[in-house]
Chain A
Amino acid sequence: MLEDRLLSWRFKHGSTDAFRRIYEKYESDLLTLAANLLAETNAAEDVVQDVFISFVQSVEKFHLRGSLKGYLATCVANRARDCIRKRKRQQTVAANEAQQLISNADGPVQLVITSEELQQLSRALTFLPYEQREVIVLHLHGDLKFRQIAKLQNVPVKTAQSRYRYGLDKLRSILNGEVKK
């Protein structure tokens, strides 16, 4: 936390090295978030790039109140939503996205651990309603609290918690079903 505050401060004061450190520290976390939210690795790469460019361009106005990771994770979530909205075919594309994730195993953005089990899971995630997927991914990968996610989704905290719980239940069902197959 302290390191992040110092890095942010140094970056605001012109340190390119500080920015490089921020980038290398969080690149993988943000890619993971974006890839799991969007279920599409090329789009994930674009989102992460856009988030960092936006960060660079608005650094003078930037004021770190919480964690830097939380801030960047929220930026990724917002960008991912924009991306989803633009496509306006979240549900219909889901199956294709899942295919793309698998087919991109050798692509520019890859799963760190490749196993049948994880590929099943990544595919299963795409079948969740976006709000549920978002809560799960932001909580488990973005380290955001339900309170923060609820604010982002503009819903009560209990709703965010419910979405998390329902999402996990649904994933279990999907995976059990797939395993049974």
Chain B
Amino acid sequence: MKPADNIEKLIKKLRYKAGDEAHNRVLNNVFQALEMRKKQKSAVSQPNIWRIIMKSPITKLTVAAVIIIAVVIGINQFGGRLGSTSVAWADVVKPILNARTATLDILIGSQEHQMVIHDEVMGSRIRRTVLGVKHSDIIIDLEQQKLLTLDHAQKTAAYIELGGLPDLQNYVELLRNMILRLQNKPDFQVDDRGLQVIEGQDYIVFVAESDKDTITIWANPETALPVRIEQKTPNMQIVCNNLQFDAVLDESLFSMEVPDNYVIQKARIDFKESSESGFIESLRIWAEIIEDGQFPDSIDLGGIAETGLKLDEGLKRLNLTDQEGLEVATRFGQGLVFIRFFKGEGQWYYAGKGVKLGDSDTPIFWYQPKDSQTWRVIYGDLKVEDISPENLPKEAY
């Protein structure tokens, strides 16, 4: 056969390769350029996620799910030491202790940027809707540590497995365990504030306080059913409204089955990797994507709640595949988990409000790791230093 007979096939065989020497030479030169480039970059000019856009509704929902998980963990972080008992208190907490199902609204953060979650709870499953995330539901199976997000407008569904989390409780179980724990304390005391009128309605009000934590319960004076619970800690404020216990709920609401004709995606978010470096990456994503180059005013639960609404806008500027978007969301979530788990293992302070990403002189976060004599201080350029207690920045919340 002449070479001209199958010319295209022959041209495809016309391939070249570099010898070892040439390969290494070029590779070294390119890597030198890469290293030089890295040296030229400051923390601010590190890979800019700001320009990247995430389009997929599924991924957006996944991001919402990560934030919601952080919220669940945030709620579970609450603990406290309360005091004294009374018949009225017992009456008020009785429905909480015995409830099999519940419906409630959870309000997180300040009124201006409030995240509102509506939960329907049955056993270890929660059906959750979030104000602002339209046409979507999230079913949370706490026992299996699994989420199902449903986007009814796009007819899409995503199963998200959660790894590396501690046992999670629904809000009713949390309240129940907290009350039992408190009541078992010998110095248990409750401040009975008597009747208060709110929007024309009478309520019995109880306030239980510990060092820095406060729980206030409003209950119907006739039925003794709690209708509103407010929890305040230095890093969190949660209000539960419209509480109803033992509401009649259809089990199908909590089904983990996907309706017919929905496109299904699966993902796994592993939180066991949550670490200081993960938290730092979260801060970077927070500053770059959510706050336009500046650290957030707050990283408490209210601050996290605000990301739920702002992140959606920020992510419109991203352009990743679902998988890549999920990676960003996961990294962000892992960092949040680090901070949510942290309370109870030591103290932490945040002072990033108004600080720009890349500011190498300003400490934005410092914490004392468990059993450590020194503190870890993170600066605006995200470098970390070990600092002795006497050299710590001024305390800030």
Residues of A within 8 A of B (CB): 2, 5-6, 9, 12-14, 16, 19-20, 23, 27-28, 31-32, 35-36, 41, 44-45, 48-49, 52-53, 56-57, 59-60, 63, 107-113, 117-118, 120-122, 125, 136-137, 140-141, 168, 171-173, 175-176, 179
Contact = CB atoms under 8 A, between A and B. Distances in A.
A2 B16 CA distance: 26
A28 B15 contact: yes
B37 A56 contact: yes
Contact of B45 (A36, A60, A111, A121): A60
Interface in B319-337: 319-321, 323-324, 327
A153 B319 CA distance: 28
Interface in B1-30: 2-4, 7-8, 10-19, 21-23, 25-27, 29-30
Contacts of A122: 14
A120 B324 CA distance: 46
Instruction: Using C-beta atoms within 8 Å of the partner chain, give the interface range for chain B.
Output: 35 or more
B324 A56 contact: no
B319 A112 contact: no
Contact of B29 (A6, A49, A63): A49
A2 B17 contact: no
B252 interface: no
The 9 closest A-B pairs by CB, nearest first: A108-B22, A172-B4, A13-B47, A175-B4, A35-B16, A112-B15, A53-B33, A52-B30, A175-B3
A60 B22 CA distance: 28
B2 A176 contact: yes
Contacts of A59: 37, 47
B30 A31 contact: no
Given A5-B321, A9-B320, A111 B16 contact: yes
A44 B22 CA distance: 11
Contacts of A125: 11, 14
B17 A63 contact: no
A53 B29 contact: yes
Contacts of B4: 171-173, 175-176, 179
Residue from the set B2, B4, B45 with the largest chain A CB neighbour count within 10 Å: B4
B332 to A, nearest CB: 13
B14 to A, nearest CB: 6
Given A57-B37, A108-B19, A179-B3, 13 more contacts: A6-B321, A9-B324, A27-B23, A28-B17, A45-B26, A53-B29, A56-B33, A63-B319, A108-B25, A109-B22, A112-B16, A112-B17, A176-B2
Contacts of B144: none
Interface in B40-84: 45-49, 51-52
Given A19-B34, A175-B7, A179-B3, A109 B21 contact: no
Contacts of B48: 60
Given A28-B17, A109-B17, A52 B26 contact: yes
A39 to B, nearest CB: 11
B30 A45 contact: no
Contact of B19 (A60, A109, A120, A173): A109
A32 B27 CA distance: 16
Contacts of B30: 23, 49, 52-53, 56
Contacts of B8: 140, 168
A108 B22 CA distance: 5
Contacts of A16: 31, 34
Given A2-B321, A120-B3, A110 B16 contact: yes
B17 A31 contact: yes
A19 to B, nearest CB: 6
B182 to A, nearest CB: 46
B37 A41 contact: no
Interface string B331-350: 00000000000000000000
Given A45-B26, A168-B7, A175-B7, A31 B16 contact: yes
B141 to A, nearest CB: 29
29 contacts: A5-B321, A13-B49, A14-B38, A14-B47, A27-B18, A27-B23, A27-B26, A31-B17, A31-B18, A32-B14, A32-B15, A32-B16, A56-B30, A56-B33, A59-B47, A60-B45, A107-B19, A112-B16, A117-B3, A118-B14, A121-B3, A122-B14, A141-B14, A141-B15, A168-B8, A171-B4, A172-B4, A173-B4, A175-B4
Contacts of B320: 5, 9
B3 A28 contact: no
A122 B16 CA distance: 11
Contacts of B22: 45, 108-109
A23 B323 CA distance: 23
Given A60-B45, A117-B10, A176-B2, A49 B16 contact: no
Nearest to A106: B19
B278 to A, nearest CB: 14
Given A56-B30, A175-B4, A113 B15 contact: yes
A19 B30 CA distance: 10
A19 B16 CA distance: 21
A150 B346 CA distance: 64
